A and B are shown apart, each in its own frame.
Chain A
Amino acid sequence: MPFPCFTAHTDRDGLSFLALCSVRRLLNRIHQTVYAAHPGSTHVLTRPTLEASWPAAGFPETGANSVVSLQNLCTELVRQLDTWFESLPDIIRPDLASSSPHNLQDAWLRSRYWSARHIICRPCLIFATSGVEQSQIPSYVVEFSAICVESCRHYIQTASYILERRTQYNWMTIQA
C-alpha cells in the first residue's frame, strides 16, 4: 500500500487538511512561548505590575524571555496568525465577514483561527479581570482583552454549528 500523497494543489480537501496541520504548528508555538511553565525559571515579564499580579491571579510565569514583553509576544503571534490566515488559498479561506460557516471544513478552520486568537490574548484578559486597579492596566492589555472576548464569541458561534452534527471534533470543540 502506498504512502499518502498530496500532489493536486487545487484539491480542496487536501488543502483544508494541510491548513489544519499547519495551524496546529502555530498553536504549538503559542503554547511554547506563552504557556509553557518553567518552575524555578528566572524568566519573568518585564513589567513589574504584571509580575506582581500573576500570583494573585493564580497564573503561572509565562514562557516570556526577560527581554520580551507580553505585548511583543501577543503582537507577533497575532501577526503570524493573521499572516497564516491571509495566505490560505481562496477556495478554503473562510469569509470571516459572515458569521455562519459554509460547511464543516470551513467551520474547523474558523474554530482553529478563533481558538488560536483567543489563546494568544487570554493572559491579558485574565490579568485584567484579576482585581487589579483599572489605572494599573496597560492599554495593550485592554486591547488584547477585547480581542480575546471577541474571539471567544466567534468561537462559540462556530462551535454551535459543529455541535449540531456528529463529527470527530465534537469533544475537542467543547474542550478547546
Chain B
Amino acid sequence: MSCQFEEMPAAAATAAARPGANAHNQTGSSPETSNNGEISPEPPSQDLLRRLEELENLVRRQSGQAMPLADPIPPRTPQLPLPAFYGSLDEPAGLPAFLATVFTPPDLHSTPQLAPNQSPSRADEYPAGEEPLTIPIGHLTPTGNLFSLVAIEKLIGEYPEDYFFQIESRRQRGPPLPSATLREMLGRLRTARDSTDRFLAAFWSEIHPHFPILEQERFSAFFSAVMENGPMSEADGALCLVIVALGQLISSEQPELPDDFNTEDGGDYFAAAYHILTREWLTSFDFELSLVSGLVYMAIYLCYVQSPLLSWRLVHMAATKLQTLVSW
C-alpha cells in the first residue's frame, strides 16, 4: 500500500508540471491578460485534459484495487510485567470458575424463546458477554430514580431527578492546599517513624484485604527506599503519602465520619498527595504505575470520607491513564 501511495505524489507532480510547461511551449507566450490588466487563465489544452484524465484514472485504479495488506504492526508490549490475571480475562478457560461464568456467553438452551445467537444482551448492539463495563446512559437503578416514579411521587411529592447531584456537588470540594512540600512531608514520615509504621500496619490489616492490589513485601521495600533515598518521582512520593493517609484515617478513633478533610486523620498527607497526583495526571503523558495506583487509593480514601463524586472522578482519571498503557 505504501509504495502505491508513493506513486501518487510523483504522478500528480508530473501531471501538474507538464500542462503548464506544455502550454507554454505550445503557445510560446505568457498567460493572456485582459484589457483591465488582470491575468485570465489559459484555456485548457487537450494535453492538459489528457494529463488530468490520466491522474484521475490512476486515483480510480488505486481506490478500486485490493490493497495488499502491509505487515501488521505488532502491538508494543509493555516494559513492565503484566499481572497474572491480565491476560486470562480473554481466556475464560483459564479462569477460576466464578470468573469464567461471567466472561462466557449465557446458556441459550435454557431459554428456547431466544433467537439463535441472541442472549439477554441486545442483539443489535453487543455480542453476548461483551457489554462494555460502563454505566449505560439512562439506566434507572439507583435509589434516587425510584423516588421519581409516578407512584412514589404521589406519596412524597416531587423528587428532582438531579437531586443527588445537587446535594453532592455542593459537598464535593477537594482538600485544601497542603501545609508542606512533598520533601517536608516525607521528612515528617521519617521523623515520626513509629507512628508511620503504625499507620502502615493499619493499612495492611484494614484496607489492603479489601483492595489487594499491592504486594506487601514489594511495596514495603519500595516505601523503605523512598524513605531512605527520596522518591524517584513525585508520584512515587505521593503514593507513599496516600498509603500512610489511609492507614492514619482507618486508625482514627473518630466515631463520626468527617464532613471535611480532617488534618488529624491523614488529611494533610492526603492533601499533599492529592495536589501532586492531580497535577501529574494533567501534565504527564507517560504511563507511571505510581500515578495510577495513587489515584485509585485516593479514590478509596474519598470513599471512606463519603465523597462519591470526587472518588469517581479520580477513578476515571486513573482509567484514562491506564488506557495509555493499553494503547502502546
Chain A residues lying within 8 Å of B215, measured Cβ to Cβ, are 2, 4-5
Encode contact with A along B257-298: 1 for CB under 8 Å, 0 otherwise. 100000000000000000000000000000001100100000
Q: What distance in Å separates the Cβ of B328 from its nearest Cβ neighbour in chain A?
A: 14
Give the complex CA separation of A102 and B132 in angstroms: 33
Is A52 part of the binding interface, using a Cβ–Cβ cutoff of 8 Å?
no
Q: What distance in Å separates the Cβ of A126 from its nearest Cβ neighbour in chain B?
A: 7
**Given contacts A31-B139, A63-B122, are A72 and B114 in contact (CB under 8 A)?**
yes
**Cβ of A57 and Cβ of B151 under 8 Å apart?**
yes
22 chain-A/chain-B pairs, Cβ below 8 angstroms: A1-B290, A3-B289, A4-B83, A5-B83, A13-B208, A14-B212, A22-B102, A28-B133, A28-B134, A32-B121, A36-B139, A58-B151, A60-B138, A63-B122, A68-B114, A72-B113, A76-B110, A76-B111, A77-B120, A89-B96, A168-B300, A176-B143
Give the complex CA separation of A104 and B210 in angstroms: 9
Within B201-250, the residues touching A (CB, 8 Å) are 208-215, 218-219, 222, 236, 239, 250
Partner of A4, one of B119, B121, B214: B214
**Cβ of B85 and Cβ of A6 under 8 Å apart?**
yes
Is B82 part of the binding interface, using a Cβ–Cβ cutoff of 8 Å?
yes
Give the complex CA separation of A141 and B311 in angstroms: 38
Chain B residues lying within 8 Å of A24, measured Cβ to Cβ, are 133
Interface of B is mostly: loop
**Given contacts A4-B213, A35-B136, are A79 and B290 in contact (CB under 8 A)?**
no
**Cβ of A32 and Cβ of B131 under 8 Å apart?**
yes
**Cβ of A1 and Cβ of B289 under 8 Å apart?**
yes
**Cβ of B304 and Cβ of A168 under 8 Å apart?**
yes
Give the complex CA separation of A11 and B135 in angstroms: 30
Partner of B151, one of A25, A75, A129, A170: A129
